[in-house]
Homo-oligomer: A and B are copies of this chain.
């Protein structure tokens, strides 16, 4: 023990002397460990409100016109929490190889350069599609899916994904929480079933507002709803 500690001390002590907060955290962890291992989620004070993302569709103008008719324009229903993003009046039906359609899937605006359908893994079993877990917009090689509209049908060769767990942050919140754009963090949730989410992508931009987006599987697993608070562990 002493030998290992000395070796550890030698290599690390310089760094450690300059990092009291880090050391305190380590010692807390060691002490916890000797009692019972961390069996409760952390509350670090770095709180984030939850936004639950139900299945939804982003469309190109070309696909809007195939689905709703030539010259058709989407109608805003209400603004979403991220600046510039909105829910549209329009909903569509999606279908996959199971031929069991899912109806009333909300279209979100604004228009995108590529159409994309975001579903949960639960939905993927209903549809019998195999979408990868992805960051929104990264659809290369993702699953095919068919979208049915009142005036036409669009079959995407790729574009169906399960969204990754991610956090939107303003530049100010990025600085406040000490995280950079595209960093991955760990998040603890104290809902009715306590859960830690690993590998949560952080997106920091002056276009964003502080919010963690979870799909309905993650939210329902942990017992979280819109406005529930979670905590960044790191």
Residues of A within 8 A of B (CB): 1, 4, 8, 12-13, 15-17, 22-23, 25-27, 29-31, 33-34, 36-41, 120-122, 125, 133, 164-165, 184-186, 192-199, 216-218, 220-223, 233-234
Contacts and interface: CB of A to CB of B under 8 A. Distances in A.
Given A217-B217, A218-B221, A221-B218, A234 B26 contact: no
A105 B34 CA distance: 46
A25 B30 CA distance: 10
A191 to B, nearest CB: 10
Contact of A198 (B165, B194, B216): B194
Given A15-B34, A39-B199, A125-B220, 15 more contacts: A1-B16, A4-B27, A8-B30, A22-B33, A26-B33, A29-B30, A36-B234, A37-B234, A121-B220, A122-B217, A133-B193, A164-B193, A193-B198, A196-B198, A220-B221
